[in-house]
Amino acid sequence: MEKTLKNNLLSNFPDFDQIIEGLDSDLLEDFATFYEESRFGLTLILEDLSETGKDADILEIGSGIGLLSRYLASQGFKVTSIEPAGKGFGMMLNLQEHVNKFFGSTNYKYVFNRSSIEDFNPKIKYDFIFSINVFEHIKDPLEGLRKTYSLLEKRGIARIVTPNYGIPYEPHFNIPIILGKKFTHMIFRTRIQTFRCYDPIGLWESLNWISISKVRRMLISESISGHFGYGAMDLYFGRLRENTRFLARKGLWFKYFATKVKFFLRFLPPRFYPILDLKITIGGQIKSRKCGVYV
């Protein structure tokens, strides 16, 4: 049953050529990126979805254009999504509208809230909460994690995947980090300002430099049960073999470097992982095929 659910979720995902029909050509490049990330996000949480099942209440933090949440709802899951669409994401409303039109008016168990996680105050708690490549844009990511924990149902699971800025590499702009955000901006100002996206300055300003070390200290101080794994890291590097559009964004030098270091990363402490892949639980033990370090 678990394998069937995973296979169905992957095979039923909307075809790219089908879903872009009628989309403004000026929005195509941004949409293609969101489409890629949504499909990648689905592969990340397949195991979590198979464990929680379709009766679970699910929350996506930072749903972007809404593609992944709307898709899961169309497959029978009960999904709530929140998205404030902050700096650097001004095209979001148009892309959200396009996704909503594609899925149409249905009886799906889907609720959308224009809200940040800090301001979100629902009347229920959730069995599964996930957030993919969002927490690096939250104004106060540690407060966001505390709020996420407070929204978990008993024996609930939260999955947070985001870049680890403890590693000297900025993945949105594909540049090395030198001493910190301010100095990095001074060195790479031209590249940042001319980067091909809707609002590169807003995107840069939204980045908060979250790191595994900072999050780990917070989890310990708050007595929150958390687990850093490398499942997302394996899938991320795997995209370099399969996804030509992703490889085009990252470049051949990134593929070369990633291929050389991938094998050794799993033997290092989590703070050296390029991706923060965190599971938070309330009660019970995390079931995962990709081990990591508990805090």
Euclidean distance between CA atoms 66 and 121, whole angstroms: 20
Residue of 162, 214, 206, 145 whose CA lies nearest to 181: 206
Strand blocks (E) in 108-256: 110-113, 126-132, 152-163, 169-170, 175-176, 225-229
Cβ-based neighbour number of residue 251 at 10 Å: 11
- Tell me if residue 113 falls in helix, strand or coil: strand
Burial class (CB within 10 angstroms; exposed 0-12, middle 13-18, buried 19+) of 220? exposed
Residue 163: count other Cβ atoms within 10 Å of its Cβ. 21
209 pLDDT band, cuts 50/70/90, is very high
Q: Give me the pLDDT at residue 168, please.
A: 93
CB 192 within 8 A of CB 238: no
Give domain 2-165+210-294's CATH number out of 3.40.50.150, 1.10.150.20, 3.40.50.20, 3.40.1130.10: 3.40.50.150
- Domain spans in the chain, listed from the N-terminal domain onward: 2-165+210-294, 173-206
Tens-digit pLDDT profile for residues 4-32: 878 889 999 999 999 999 898 888 888 88
The pLDDT tens digits of the residues spanning 124-135 come to 999 999 999 999
DSSP structural state of residue 241: H
User: Is the pLDDT confidence value at 37 over 80?
Assistant: yes
pLDDT at 107: 61
Pairing of strands 175-176, 78-82: unpaired
State the average pLDDT for the chain. Answer: 85
Q: Which residue has the higher pLDDT, 244 or 291?
A: 244
**Burial label, 190 (beta-carbon count in 10 A; 0-12, 13-18, 19+):** exposed
pTM score, whole prediction: 0.87
Q: Give the CA dihedral 245, 249, 252, 257, nearest 10 degrees.
A: -120
Task: Please report which confidence band the pLDDT of residue 243 belongs to, taking 50, 70 and 90 as the band edges.
Answer: low
Choose among 123, 119, 117, 121: nearest CA to 158: 117
Greatest mean pLDDT among 59-63, 200-204, 273-277 lies in 59-63
Buried b (16+ CB within 10 A) or exposed e, 109-127: ebebbeebbeebeeeeebb
Compare 165 and 197 and report the one with higher pLDDT.
165
Q: What is the average per-residue pLDDT within 117-121? A: 93
- What's the confidence (pLDDT) of residue 286? 43
Q: How far are the Cα atoms of 46, 75, 131, 157, 205 from residue 284, in angstroms, in the given order? A: 20, 27, 21, 10, 38
220/142 Cα distance (integer angstroms): 12
Looking at residue 207, its pLDDT comes to 94
Task: Identify which of 92, 61, 62 has the alpha carbon closest to the alpha carbon of residue 198.
Answer: 92
